[in-house]
Amino acid sequence: MTQGRKPGVIARLNKTFPTLNGALREVGASILNDPDKVVRMNVTSLAELSNTSESAVVRLAKKLGYTGFRDMQINLAYDLGDQTRKDNQEIELTDSVPVIAEKSFHANVLGLSQTREILDAEALTQAAQFIHRARAVHIFAQGINYSTAIDLSYNLVKLGILCQVYNDSYMQGVASSISDKSDVAIGISHTGANRDVIEALSISRQNGTMTIGITAKEFSPITKMSEISLCTSPNEMLVLGEPFSSRMNMMYLVDILFLRIASLSNKNGMNSLQKVKDALEAKRYPG
């Protein structure tokens, strides 16, 4: 589904720009003038902005070494959002159980506290409204983010909202390609740099689907591809360099999102929750 990353869209364009003529020069100028705007456009919008054609946009992308507009756009998003944080705490395998417990506790408390402080209530409410009205919700997530996606999907289904999680890159491609303006696409990536998830959001967005990104990195590629971005604390507890505590922050955020959607559902949502509760009651041993 993905192509190899070819960073440096702006650098390539600056180098090539003096040799460009006509429509290709107009497209290039539009990208250089406002790359942050272009990274959120589809091919038709960029053609209109530059007063050229979709074929001219594609020709420029290929001239710069990309397979097409979307490949160039995704790499541009990486360029604009290629920032990393180095202030994460790491658990060593030689740490004792009390030390691990202490580090884990403080990392989780700090992460939840910071996530609450930076929570964008307006953006979350907008996301909840779009999800509440959606025909279907497509969630794209992989790796450690998959559990967060499953949790959110489970809760949305309980409210009667048609929702599906896709972690396979091919199925992400299928789901995103058939999405439309009546759907919502949610991408979940702690780093904000998962290429498959970002590409799925890109395809969805070009189909007119509302795109929502959930990440710990405010200035990351996924936020460039999302019309609404919901961010958690960027601080992370690492184990062998891999994120470990971000799950708590993500779960906290999607729980708030679910509760906001539930509040919009009013009586219908509450009826759905009660039906689910009644149906599951028989699956539990009495006691």
Report pTM.
0.73
Q: Are 200 and 176 in contact (CB under 8 A)?
A: yes
At residue 1, the pLDDT reads: 42
Q: Which one, of 213, 164, 167, 166, lies nearest residue 190 by Cα? A: 213
Q: Let me know how long the chain is.
A: 287
Give the model's confidence band at 81: pLDDT under 50 very low, under 70 low, under 90 confident, else very high: low
Is pLDDT of 241 > 70? Answer: no
At residue 240, the pLDDT reads: 62
CATH fold for domain 89-280? Rossmann fold (3.40.50)
Domain ranges of the chain: 9-80, 89-280
Q: What value does the mean pLDDT take over residues 211-235?
A: 92
Q: Which one, of 253, 273, 252, lies nearest residue 262 by Cα? A: 273
At residue 2, the pLDDT reads: 44
Is pLDDT of 160 > 80? Answer: yes
Give the model's confidence band at 277: pLDDT under 50 very low, under 70 low, under 90 confident, else very high: confident
As a whole number of angstroms, the distance between CA 76 and CA 74 comes to: 5
Q: In what side-by-side order are the strands of the sheet with 89-91?
A: 89-91, 237-239, 242-243
Q: Are 95 and 103 in contact (CB under 8 A)?
A: yes
More confident residue, 201 or 105: 201
As a whole number of angstroms, the distance between CA 247 and CA 111 comes to: 10
Give the model's confidence band at 251: pLDDT under 50 very low, under 70 low, under 90 confident, else very high: very high
More confident residue, 45 or 78: 45
Dig out the tokens for 155 from the structure: 């809760």
At residue 20, the pLDDT reads: 94
Q: What value does the mean pLDDT take over residues 182-207?
A: 96
Longest CA pairwise span in the chain (Å): 78
Is pLDDT of 163 > 60? Answer: yes
As a whole number of angstroms, the distance between CA 200 and CA 184 comes to: 12
Give the model's confidence band at 132: pLDDT under 50 very low, under 70 low, under 90 confident, else very high: very high
Q: What value does the mean pLDDT take over residues 211-223?
A: 93
CATH fold for domain 9-80? Arc Repressor Mutant, subunit A (1.10.10)
